[in-house]
Amino acid sequence: MLIQKKYLESTVEITKVEEKDGKFYAYAKTSPFYPDGKGGQLGDRGKIAGVDVLYVYEKGDEIAHQVTSSIAPGIYEVAIEQKRRKDIAQQHTGQHILSAAFLEIADIETVSFHMGEEYSTIDLDVPFLESEVISESEELANRVIQSCYAIEEIITDIEGSKNYNLRKPLSYKVTGEVRLIEIDNFDVSACGGFHLNNTGEVGLIKVIDTEKVKGNLTRIYAVAGERALKYFQKYNSVLKKLSKMLTSSVDELELRVEKLLNQSRDQALLLSKISQEYATVLSQNLSNKGLVYLEGYSEVGNFLAKIGNFEESILVFYDNSKYIIASKKYDVRNFVSKLIEKFGGKGGGKSEFANYQPAKKLKFEELEEVYHEVYNSGKDQKG
């Protein structure tokens, strides 16, 4: 892998250790551990003196290592997770290739890059990204990967960088040594992160999602290397299970799901209509005095609360999960508050309609007791 020399050191000198909120931080002036977030890249993990390193970040002119337990200042051997470094290099090299592919295919520039534990994001300087552009850029990126182009590390300065066709020009404020990553004749970019020696080591790169961000940018989500393989394994497994459950081939799965969704919508509409009709019938036979208690399907309860004549009563409808409470006479919020006070749970709503989610189903006698306790005096009636 192409890694700067300072990240290949085998020791680190810890100058001080701090404890904050039960967490331990070991500080060093320089460290072979790459900091999280630097250049958009993930940081290293591993051990210092046998103690696990959980997170690494730059703090001023120091490198802070969050460790699992305290260690004394001193010089220690380090053990850095090489598998993680390989994954980081695959994602980072893949990002360079994909960013260059978008520039080649559609003249779209990369604004920023962030590597996460599951996927990487690339913010592109375009408000909308057509699916054809994504496909063509992805195909070009994978052709570059399959071509096994050599990747070179070039150490120069700001003046020397002008001899290369950089994908993104350097700021005039840059001073000192400049590290360039050159991928054959396909891409040259300034970068301090981890990279592979050959594009073939990336294996594969896949765009898995897109979204519009910050008004005029489009964010793409991508995975490369072993992450891409795991992504395909996961979704292949899901598709196979769905195919078996729905007795449909993978090729026909989309049509099968669409048909089921249409059927589900039709059935939901029919159920809603039946519930409304049933609620209408129920409302005609209910008492309009005191506490009216019913149990049933939630849609029936909701319709009943809307159309029922509860001028002199309060409806308490249990749908096997929550209580639907309605009244035109009483402020039902007081009823809900008292239920929560006595039996726990949660709830809320408006004066004429509210829901109460109990910790457990209540007995009718318990509901009736609360009703009399809250409303018997008449003080909580509306108006």
pLDDT in tens, 231-242: 999 999 999 999
Residue 95 near residue 85, CB atoms below 8 Å: no
29 located within any domain: yes
Query: 303 with 334, same domain?
Result: yes
Distance CA 200, CA 123 (A): 25
Angle CA(155)–CA(158)–CA(159) in degrees, nearest 5?
100
Query: 187 with 332, same domain?
Result: no
Distance CA 185, CA 214 (A): 33
189 located within any domain: yes
Please give the structure tokens belonging to residue 226.
């072993």
Least confident of 21-35, 51-65, 284-298: 284-298
Q: What is the pLDDT of residue 50?
A: 94
Average pLDDT taken over every residue of the chain: 94
381 located within any domain: no
pLDDT band at 377 (very low <50, low <70, confident <90, very high): low
264 located within any domain: no
Alpha carbon 298 to its chain centroid, in Å, reads: 32
Helix, strand, coil percentages for the chain (3-state, nearest 5): 35, 30, 35
Domain CATH code at residue 28: 2.40.30.130
Domain CATH code at residue 125: 3.30.980.10
DSSP string, 223-279: EETHHHHHHHHHHHHHHHHHHHHTT--GGGHHHHHHHHHHHHHHHHHHHHHHHHHHH
Could you give the dihedral angle defined by the CA atoms of residues 357, 362, 364 and 368, in that order, rounded to the nearest 10 degrees?
A: -70
Q: Is the pLDDT of residue 9 over 90?
A: yes
pLDDT band at 136 (very low <50, low <70, confident <90, very high): very high
Q: What is the pLDDT of residue 381?
A: 56
Q: What is the pLDDT of residue 376?
A: 79
pLDDT band at 380 (very low <50, low <70, confident <90, very high): low
Alpha carbon 289 to its chain centroid, in Å, reads: 51
E strand or H helix that includes residue 104? helix 82-106
Which pTM value belongs to this model? 0.75
Query: 158 with 68, same domain?
Result: no
247 located within any domain: no
Q: What percentage of residues in the chain have a pLDDT greater than 90?
A: 86
Distance CA 359, CA 304 (A): 24
What residue type is 278 in one-letter code? Y
State the average pLDDT over residues 115-136: 96
Count of alpha carbons within 13 Å of 36, Cβ hemisphere only?
12
Query: 64 with 93, same domain?
Result: no
Q: What is the pLDDT of residue 288?
A: 80
- Residue range of the domain that includes 62: 5-80
Query: 98 with 28, same domain?
Result: no
311 located within any domain: yes
Q: Is the pLDDT of residue 97 over 90?
A: yes
Query: 94 with 76, same domain?
Result: no
Return the DSSP state at 109.
-
Q: Is the pLDDT of residue 383 over 60?
A: no
Domain CATH code at residue 311: 3.10.310.30
- How far CA 290 is from CA of 51, 280, 312, 357, 378, in Å, comes to 69, 20, 7, 22, 12
Domain limit, last residue, from 56, 80, 104 = 80
Query: 110 with 218, same domain?
Result: yes
Residue 120 near residue 222, CB atoms below 8 Å: yes
Return the DSSP state at 6.
G
Instruction: For tokens 């690494």, name the residue.
Output: 56
Number of domains in the chain: 3
Which range in 90-104, 203-217, 359-373 is most confidently predicted, on average pLDDT? 90-104
Domain limit, last residue, from 36, 53, 80 = 80
Query: 59 with 176, same domain?
Result: no
139 located within any domain: yes
Please give the structure tokens belonging to residue 157.
């300065």
Q: What is the pLDDT of residue 382?
A: 59
Query: 37 with 91, same domain?
Result: no
DSSP-derived pairing of the beta strands 46-48 and 23-28:
unpaired
Radius of gyration of the chain (CA): 32
Q: What is the pLDDT of residue 175?
A: 87
Residue 290 near residue 313, CB atoms below 8 Å: yes
pLDDT band at 342 (very low <50, low <70, confident <90, very high): very high
Residue 78 near residue 50, CB atoms below 8 Å: no
Query: 76 with 91, same domain?
Result: no
Instruction: For tokens 């890694």, name the residue.
Output: 3
258 located within any domain: no
Domain limit, last residue, from 186, 221, 239 = 239
Query: 345 with 295, same domain?
Result: yes
Query: 100 with 228, same domain?
Result: yes
pLDDT in tens, 140-174: 999 999 999 999 999 999 999 999 999 998 888 88
pLDDT band at 289 (very low <50, low <70, confident <90, very high): confident
